Amino acid sequence: MQDVNSPLDDEKKADTSAKTILNLKNLSIGYNDPLVSKISKEIIAGESIAIVGPSGIGKTTLLRTIAGLIIPVSGEISHTIPKRGGIGYIPQKLGLIRHSSVRNNIALGARTRRSRWYPALFPLDRSLKNDIEDAMESLNIKDLANDPVRILSGGQQRRVAIARTLIQRPQLILADEFLGELDSENIKSIVKATKKIIEEIGATLIMVEHNEERARQIADRIWRIKGNELIEDGDFDQ
């Protein structure tokens, strides 16, 4: 991904740019052949977007491309997000370290808040440690702080993944079906906690969700992948 600092001509343009966090320009994504082509979208800071569509159509590939894990087939992704800690990514399999404790998993997100030149083995300072405790508290996993992640239930693991991402205070959160196959009670509480914290830190959310009903619970905009095109449903708040 490239950082964009292109000079803007007029004041109006500059205003728009101040709000635009991510710009996808004529983007084609895929591995060798493009799965989805001609994606041109502008994402404003604070928006919540859900990408919906059937399995295998390219939702995850789009998310991974935005995360900088896959090089686009063609087109350009530009953004103003810092490389370190600016993006919080929750993959489909959550990306947790199974043998590490809940606290250590969340600490991974906190590490991005200090300089990249800080030695990796140096302990976190007191304020970051306090933030980890607060994050566990707000997601109801404080009792599990010292348990290895592998023994937690699916719902608990999702809370850990969310806490790890939120403690980064990222500008952009990319979540790939992070609600998974949870029961409705768990979904309600996780959605509530996530929305609250996202609002607090003012992050932008792009999530992949195969269940459209759930997507509408969280997202302001719905991007639907059909064939090899991305179509936007519109703003649900309007």
Partner 1 sequence: MVISINKKLLFTGTILLVLTMVFLDDLVEDWGQIEDAPEKLQTFFSEDLWPPDWSVLEAEVWVDGSLHKPNGDICDESFELFCSKAWTGMVVTLKMAFIATLIGFIVSIPLASVAANNLAPLPINLAARIILAGLRSLPSIIWALLFAIAIGFGPLPGILAMTLYTIGYLGKLQYESMEGIANSPLESGMAMGLTHSERLFHIVIPESSNHLLSQLLFMFEYNVRHGAVLGLVGAGGIGMYIDNYINPPFDYDRAFALLIVVFVVVVVIDLISMFIRSFVTEEGDVKRPKWWTILLPAGMAMDYYNQKGVTKKSSNLEESE
Binding site for partner 1 (CB under 8 A): 64, 67-69, 82-100, 104, 107-109, 111-112, 116, 119-121, 150-151, 153-155, 164, 168, 170, 174
Q: Report, in Å, the least distance between residue 12 CB and partner 1.
A: 32
DSSP for 168-203, written as a single string:
T--SEEEEESTTTT--HHHHHHHHHHHHHHHHHHT-
- Residue 123 DSSP label: P
Which residues lie closer than 8 Å to 194 by C-beta, 6 or more apart? 162, 166, 218
Closest CB to partner 1 among residues 58, 88: 88
Closest CB to partner 1 among residues 37, 94: 94
Which residues lie closer than 8 Å to 91 by C-beta, 6 or more apart? 176
Closest CB to partner 1 among residues 37, 168: 168
d(CA 65, CA 27): 10
d(CA 109, CA 84): 10
Q: Report, in Å, the least distance between residue 229 CB and partner 1.
A: 26
Helices assigned H by DSSP within the chain: 11-19, 59-66, 102-111, 126-138, 154-166, 184-201, 212-218
Residue 117 is inside which H or E element, if any? Answer: none
Q: Report, in Å, the least distance between residue 8 CB and partner 1.
A: 26
Closest CB to partner 1 among residues 37, 51: 51
Closest CB to partner 1 among residues 98, 196: 98
Q: Report, in Å, the least distance between residue 119 CB and partner 1.
A: 8
Q: Report, in Å, the least distance between residue 202 CB and partner 1.
A: 18
